[in-house]
Amino acid sequence: MMKLLRRETQLRQTLLKALYDENLRVIGKKPATKASRFPFLKGRLLFLYVMLLLFSFGYTDYLNPLVSSNDAVINATIQHRNYAGDYPDEIFPSDYSSLLNETAVPLKRVFGLEVKTIIIDAGHGGDDPGAIGTLGTMEKNITLDIAQRLKERLEEHMRYNVLMTREKDKSLSLKRRIEIANSSKADIFISIHVNYLPAKPIDIIETYYFGPSSDENTLRLAAKENEGSRYSLSDYNEVIQKIGNTLKLQESRVLAAQIQKNLFLHMKTLNKNVLDFGVKRAPFLVLLGVDMPGILVEVACLSNKEEEYKLNNPNYREDIARYLEAGIIQYLLNGRSNS
């Protein structure tokens, strides 16, 4: 018992001392631990080193004008909601404030300063028009336009390398899309689609990452979006079952959550009736194939006539791109917890 107590006291003292040292370092009163990753650094030293590293990231970032300009961009996106006066402000101020409170934008957190590569996949194209609205609007054109706008917006940050699987209206098999994404060594993969729900006059936003699903609607959608491949889902059944909770999967889920959250909460301010169908898993082959974290977002609903009108307005498409951007940036700035 005595021994136990002594051990605990010792442990306490070690912890207090380590905390003290760490704080000294923060204010620069002690020389920094050499930044190297040797095994002997494990334990306490490693902890201090990590703290130091994290701190220095935070600090550089604090001084980094790029990040504040990100903030400005994203802040601007939040304030910008009454564009062109086309869509009346239907939301009550109290709703608006609470929505704003929910849509935090990253301040100054980064986990790395290296350039990230983002690959954007505009769904369908060429012979494959995707969904077609009652006015004749084709999914393939909407996805390409939004993808291009998103690319431009991301490039303005000057710190992302942005690629597209297609830049024109051309046919592209899922296999080819996967090859392009994987050879680009991108960090994240964003596939843009537009939903079509003939049976219901509703308007929804939903974001998917790869995984098994038992929901019939989801499976039907997956079958539709998988059409461009020569494979059938059953070819992949085994893989789908085996896929565990890998890092890619977890990251994809976080990415999907950020995108869904930003897109939905902002679009809701423009369109009160839009519903949040949330983040879901679905066996989209394109998401299975890519090596990096990836998501597929259904940004709007072409089956809804009002929505189809809006999608024909470039301002509306720009808004969608802007909120996709906000989600991606938020993910890149805070998304990964351990990487």
Partner 1 sequence: MKQQTGKKDSALYVGIDLGTSRSAISASNDIKDWVESYVGWPKDFIAAKVLGKDVLFGSEALENRLSLELYRPLERGVIKEGIERNEEAVRELIRYMIGLVKPQPEQKIYAIVGVPADTLKINKLAIRKAVSEYVNSLMVVSEPFSVAYGLNLLNNALIIDLGAGTVDFCIMHGSIPDENDQKTILTAGDYVDEQLYSYMSEKYPDSTFNLNMIRQFKERYSFVGDTEEAIHVEIPVNGRPVMHDITNEIRRACESILPAIIDTTSEMIARFDPEFQAKIKRNIVVAGGGSLIRGIAQYISNALKEYGPCNVRCVEEPLYAGSDGALKLAADMPEKYWEEL
Task: Examine residue 334 and tell whether it contacts partner 1 (CB under 8 A).
Answer: yes
Q: How far apart are CA 113 and CA 183, in angstroms?
A: 22
Residue 123 contact partner, candidates partner 1, Zn ion, none, CB within 5 to 8 A by sort of partner? Zn ion
Residue 189 contact partner, candidates partner 1, Zn ion, none, CB within 5 to 8 A by sort of partner? none
Residue number, 176 or 336, with CB nearest to partner 1: 336
Sign of CA dihedral 309, 315, 320, 321: positive
Question: Integer distance in angstroms from the first to the last C-alpha of the chain?
Answer: 41
For residue 326, CA distances in Å to 73, 265, 288, 334 come to: 9, 11, 25, 12
Residue number, 53 or 239, with CB nearest to partner 1: 53
- For Zn ion, the binding residues in 105-164 under the rule CB under 5 A are 123, 130
> Binding-site residue total for partner 1 (CB under 8 A)?
70
**What would the two tokens of residue 97 be?**
């404030």
Residue 240 contact partner, candidates Zn ion, partner 1, none, CB within 5 to 8 A by sort of partner? none
Among 162, 172, 254, 286, binds partner 1 (CB under 8 A): 254
x/- contact string, 311-330, with partner 1 (CB under 8 A)?
-------------------x
Residue number, 286 or 295, with CB nearest to partner 1: 295
Task: Examine residue 101 and tell whether it contacts partner 1 (CB under 8 A).
Answer: yes
Task: Examine residue 193 and tell whether it contacts Zn ion (CB under 5 A).
Answer: yes
**What would the two tokens of residue 157 be?**
């940050």
User: In the chain, where do the E strands start and end?
Assistant: 116-122, 160-164, 188-195, 204-210, 275-282, 294-301
Task: Examine residue 33 and tell whether it contacts partner 1 (CB under 8 A).
Answer: no
Task: Examine residue 1 and tell whether it contacts partner 1 (CB under 8 A).
Answer: no
Q: Which residue has the tokens 């808004």?
A: 319
Task: Examine residue 51 and tell whether it contacts partner 1 (CB under 8 A).
Answer: yes
Task: Examine residue 317 and tell whether it contacts Zn ion (CB under 5 A).
Answer: no
Alpha helices (H) along 243-313: 247-270, 285-289, 305-311
Task: Examine residue 43 and tell whether it contacts partner 1 (CB under 8 A).
Answer: yes
Residue number, 77 or 143, with CB nearest to partner 1: 77
**What would the two tokens of residue 329 be?**
């940036």
- Strand-pairing partners, residue 191, are 121, 296
Angle at 54 between CA 209 and CA 71, to 5 degrees: 65
Q: Which among 124, 82, 123, 109 is positioned nearest to 269, based on CA atoms?
A: 82
Q: How far is CA 17 from the centre of its chain?
A: 40
Among 73, 278, 291, 313, binds partner 1 (CB under 8 A): 278
DSSP state letter for 38: -
Task: Examine residue 253 and tell whether it contacts partner 1 (CB under 8 A).
Answer: yes
Report DSSP letters for 144-165, one per residue: HHHHHHHHHHHHTTSSEEEEES
Task: Examine residue 116 and tell whether it contacts partner 1 (CB under 8 A).
Answer: no
Residue number, 6 or 12, with CB nearest to partner 1: 12
Task: Examine residue 23 and tell whether it contacts partner 1 (CB under 8 A).
Answer: yes
Task: Examine residue 93 and tell whether it contacts partner 1 (CB under 8 A).
Answer: yes
- For Zn ion, the binding residues in 8-27 under the rule CB under 5 A are none
Count helices and strands (H / E) in the chain: 12, 6
Do residues 33 and 48 touch, judged by C-beta distance below 8 A? Answer: yes
* Contact footprint for partner 1 (CB under 8 A): 8, 11-12, 14-20, 23-24, 26-27, 29, 42-44, 46-47, 50-51, 54-55, 57-59, 61-62, 68, 71, 74-75, 78-79, 92-95, 97-102, 104-111, 245, 253-254, 257-258, 261, 264-265, 275-278, 330, 334-335, 337-338
